[in-house]
């Protein structure tokens, strides 16, 4: 059976070039980048080169790149590393749990958080951020692209507010990296987190831009790695893989790949929307989708259960994810969709299609060939359709 993976926002496979770039660093070039002998220095050179690539990717100085284990660590570092008892923190109610749970933990340490809600379109209004600022506000954290809807947030405007008011600004760019250009100087942020596995790099490796002079306490202490900002022996192969993925992502932003991806996403979306009782999550008041990451669409389906549709599509070879997540054994509707004002039933009956950079017309054709029948079938069975489920 043909399989089409449309869950790139969960994770992506390595591109072959990434695999090839990493390969020598597992065995032949296994040195510890802190050792002074030749194998160590070879590893050091690879890390230094990767740092230069990441500095180009962020548009920052090499010394402002810190390698870490990924998005969760970057998000946690921003929150735990900058906030102290008595500080006020501003974030949004649609952030990833790596920010939300960190904020919840900081509540126990005397840090109050304001969770700014999005508009129904999924966009954060920068004036809501401005209104939330208090004299004791120390940090604002807003994502670049939402993982569920793909909605791109107005980070440049928020960066301006942060700079005018003297507040530190962190961006979770995990879902934006590789999909739109990142320029930390233009945005004016102090911190920015990315993760390799969302951009066709390996899992367990990421990087953070930390603007020079930003007083972030490291999350991990020990050796003097990463200019004492992140202790732990560098995972050289992972770092090389991240940098290769970033290099390929920079090409994709220049060579039209992202436009091609957006066109595929739009065709997929238009095809699914031909079904009655469907709509996009992430539209403005005029019904037009707001600016989104090129690979993502989130669509609601009336009169069916989203989880059943995810399973039905999986059985037909299509991998997507639904609008609910499992928390402590119970299925909860997505906090992002709920914050955008969807009711529980519609949030549960929403599906995220997120395309890999390597997606093809044939992939879209396949998905469009199975979705209508699966939807129609479930609608005939659904207790939601029969009105027996609240
Ligand atoms: C927006 C966002 N932030 C952070 C993370 C966490 O990244 P990682 O899996 O690298 O820890 C994810 C992963 O799903 C994400 O989508």
Residues 306 and 386 sit within 8 Å (Cβ to Cβ): no
Q: Tell me if 234 sits within 8 A of 224, measured CB to CB.
A: no
For the Cβ of 206 lying below 6 angstroms from any atom of ligand 1, the answer is: yes
Contact 75, 191 (CB under 8 A): no
Q: Which of these, 292, 192, 296, lies nearest to 246 by C-alpha position?
A: 192
Distance CA 192, CA 184 (A): 8
Interval between CA 71 and ligand 1 midpoint (Å):
5
> What would the pLDDT profile of 2-24 be if each residue is shown by its tens digit?
999 999 999 999 999 999 999 99
pLDDT at residue 338, as a whole number = 97
Residue 63 gets the label, from left (phi > 0), alpha (psi -120 to 50) or beta, of: alpha
Q: Encode pLDDT of 146-159 as tens digits.
A: 999 999 999 999 99
Atom 7 of ligand 1 has which residue's CA nearest to it?
71
- Arithmetic mean of pLDDT, 84-95: 98
Going by pLDDT thresholds of 50, 70 and 90, the confidence category of residue 228 is very high
Residue 125's pLDDT is 98
At residue 12, the 3 state secondary structure works out as: coil
The residue nearest atom 5 of ligand 1, judged by CA position, is 71
Rounded to the nearest integer, the mean pLDDT of the chain is 95
Burial 351-370 (b: 16+ CB within 10 A, else e): bbbbbbbebeeebbebbeeb
Place of tokens 């043909």: 2
Q: What is the pLDDT of residues 235-281, one digit of tens each?
A: 999 999 999 999 999 999 999 999 999 999 999 999 999 999 999 99
Residue 386 has pLDDT above 60, yes or no: no
Query: What is the DSSP annotation of 333-353?
Result: E-HHHHHTT--HHHHHTEEEE
Q: Quick one: tokens of 223?
A: 């050796």
Render pLDDT for 58-70 as a digit per residue (tens, 0 to 9): 999 999 999 999 9
Mutate to test the pocket of ligand 1, among 148, 175, 179, 201 (most ligand atoms within 8 A of CB): 175
Taking the centre of ligand 1 as the mean of its atom positions, its distance from the CA of residue 192, in whole angstroms, is: 13
Spatial separation of the C-alpha atoms in residues 321 and 311, rounded to whole Å: 9
Residue 212: pLDDT over 50: yes
Pocket test residue of 11, 147, 203 for ligand 1, highest count of atoms within 8 A of CB: 147
75 touches ligand 1 (CB under 6 Å): yes
98 ligand 1 Cβ < 6 A: yes
Given a contact cutoff of 8 angstroms between Cβ atoms, the answer to whether 196 and 58 are in contact is no
Q: Cα–Cα distance between 65 and 239 in angstroms, integer?
A: 12
Contact 7, 321 (CB under 8 A): yes
Please state the atom number of ligand 1 nearest to the C-alpha of residue 69: 10
Task: Say which DSSP state 117 is in.
Answer: P
Give catalytic residue positions.
326
Size (the chain), residues: 390
Ligand 1 center to 219 CA (angstroms): 17
Helix, strand or coil, per DSSP, at residue 259: helix
Calpha distance 113→102 (Å, rounded): 10
Q: What percent of the chain has pLDDT over 70?
A: 96
Q: Cα(first)–Cα(last) distance of the chain, in Å?
A: 36
Confidence bin at 99 (pLDDT 50/70/90): very high
Each residue's pLDDT tens digit, 161-177 = 999 999 999 999 999 99
**Residue 71 beta carbon below 6 angstroms from any ligand 1 atom:** yes
Residue 390's pLDDT is 44
The rounded percent of the chain whose pLDDT value lies above 90 is 94
What CA–CA distance (Å, rounded) separates 168 from 141? 9
In the structure, what pLDDT confidence band is assigned to residue 332 with cuts at 50, 70 and 90?
confident
**Does the beta carbon of 239 lie inside 6 Å of ligand 1?**
no
Across 296-325, average pLDDT: 93
Confidence of residue 326 (pLDDT cuts 50, 70, 90): low
What is the spatial distance between Cα 112 and Cα 131, in angstroms, rounded to a whole number?
15
**Is the per-residue pLDDT at 384 higher than 70?**
no
Give me the mean pLDDT over the 330-346 stretch: 92
- Pocket test residue of 7, 72, 296 for ligand 1, highest count of atoms within 8 A of CB: 72
Whether the CB-CB separation of 140 and 130 falls below 8 Å is answered with no
Ligand 1, atom 4, residue with closest C-alpha:
71
Atom of ligand 1 nearest to the CA of 10: 14
On the CB side of 265, CA atoms within 13 Å amount to: 30
Q: What is the mean pLDDT of residues 206-233?
A: 96
Question: Which among 177, 199, 214 is positioned nearest to 66, based on CA atoms?
Answer: 214
Cα(96) to centroid(ligand 1), Å: 7
């Amino acid at each position: 059976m043909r399989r089409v993976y449309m869950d790139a926002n969960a994770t992506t496979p390595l591109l072959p070039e990434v695999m090839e770039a990493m390969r020598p660093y597992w065995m032949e070039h296994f040195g510890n980048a802190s050792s002074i002998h030749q194998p160590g220095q070879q590893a050091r050179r690879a890390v230094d080169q990767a740092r230069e690539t990441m500095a180009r990717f962020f548009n920052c100085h090499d010394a402002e790149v810190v390698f870490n284990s990924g998005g969760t660590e970057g998000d946690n570092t921003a929150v735990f590393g900058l906030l102290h008892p008595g500080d006020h923190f501003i974030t949004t109610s649609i952030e990833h749990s790596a920010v939300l749970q960190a904020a919840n933990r900081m509540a126990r340490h005397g840090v109050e958080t304001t969770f700014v809600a999005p508009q129904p379109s999924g966009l954060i209004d920068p004036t809501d951020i401005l209104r939330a600022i208090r004299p004791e506000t120390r940090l604002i954290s807003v994502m670049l692209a939402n993982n569920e809807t793909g909605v791109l947030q107005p980070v440049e405007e928020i960066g301006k507010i942060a700079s005018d008011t003297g507040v530190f600004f962190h961006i979770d760019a995990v879902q934006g990296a590789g999909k739109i250009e990142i320029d930390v100087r233009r945005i004016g942020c102090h911190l920015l987190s990315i993760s390799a596995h969302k951009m066709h790099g390996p899992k367990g490796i990421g990087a953070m831009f930390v603007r020079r002079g930003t007083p972030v306490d490291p999350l991990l202490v020990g050796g003097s790695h990463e200019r004492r900002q992140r202790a732990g022996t560098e995972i050289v192969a992972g770092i090389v893989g991240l940098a290769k993925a970033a290099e390929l992502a920079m090409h994709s932003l220049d060579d039209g790949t992202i436009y091609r991806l957006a066109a595929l996403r739009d065709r997929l979306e238009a095809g699914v929307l031909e079904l009655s009782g469907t709509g996009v999550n992430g539209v403005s008041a005029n019904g037009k989708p707001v600016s989104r990451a090129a690979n993502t669409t989130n669509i609601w389906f009336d009169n069916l259960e989203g989880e059943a549709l995810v399973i039905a599509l999986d059985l037909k070879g299509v991998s997507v994810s639904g609008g609910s997540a499992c928390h402590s054994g119970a299925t909860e509707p997505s906090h992002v969709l709920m914050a955008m004002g969807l009711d529980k039933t519609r949030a549960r009956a929403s599906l995220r299609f997120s395309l890999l950079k390597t997606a093809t017309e044939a992939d879209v054709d396949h998905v469009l060939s199975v979705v209508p029948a699966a939807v129609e079938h479930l609608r005939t069975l659904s207790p939601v359709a029969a009105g027996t489920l609240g």
